[in-house]
Amino acid sequence: MKPKKFTLTYPWDDNGYKPYVEYELGMDESGFLMHINVRESDPRRRETEHQRDIYKDSCVEWFVNFMPESCDRYFNFETNANGAMHVAFRRDRHEGQMLTAEDIAALNIQADIMENTWEVSYSVPFSLIRKYIPQYRFEEGMKIRTNFYKCGDETEFPHYGIWTEYALEKPDFHRPEFFGEIALD
């Protein structure tokens, strides 16, 4: 798959804080590759351990259903500038299975903080997807349903960016019915 790039909008903007975020989704023979670049100086990054409240820090999130035609669950990958990640396989906000430390290690998370930007990269191996969706097999032309987010609930300027917008008064990222569709060509 040729890498695809995505940027965000901030429909719930209350304070004017809208950091530019670019997601680049690619793929190789072993799985999906994610690279996220955030133009933001001094991001809040208190969490250093996985499976914590990453959304309170300056956070980038990828929610994705890898097999929407036959699976009603999605993964949520939430990462801060330290490379700490909260990740689960979910039906919705309330019902989900946290990934194990071994699963998170397989993502090969890399984070880098520079003067006015920070980046996060990780991979999602097909073998990890099959652990949670046993029938998963990648085929050329498949479609995934997804959304990309940027948030920081306890940052100096709380903010909520989104790729596929929807008309709700308040941000609610755990809404797979509003995920956008991406063809994997």
Six token digits for residue 66: 């890898």
pLDDT (tens digit per residue) in 116-126: 999 999 999 99
Q: How confident is the model at residue 14 (pLDDT cuts 50, 70, 90)?
A: confident
* Number of domains making up the chain: 1
Task: Inform me whether the pLDDT recorded for 140 exceeds 90.
Answer: no
pLDDT-derived band at 68 (thresholds 50, 70, 90) equals very high
Q: What is the pLDDT of residue 170?
A: 87
- Residue, of 140 and 5, whose pLDDT is higher: 5
Residue 1 has pLDDT above 80, yes or no: no
Percent of the chain with pLDDT over 70: 100
pLDDT tens, position by position, 100-116: 999 999 999 999 999 99
Domain span at 48 = 4-183
Average pLDDT across the chain, whole number: 95
- pLDDT, position 167: 79
Task: Reply yes or no on whether the pLDDT at 134 is more than 90.
Answer: yes
CATH number at residue 34: 2.60.40.1190
Residue 13, pLDDT > 90, answer no
What pTM does this model have? Answer: 0.96
Q: Are strands 160-162 and 4-7 parallel, antiparallel or unpaired?
A: unpaired
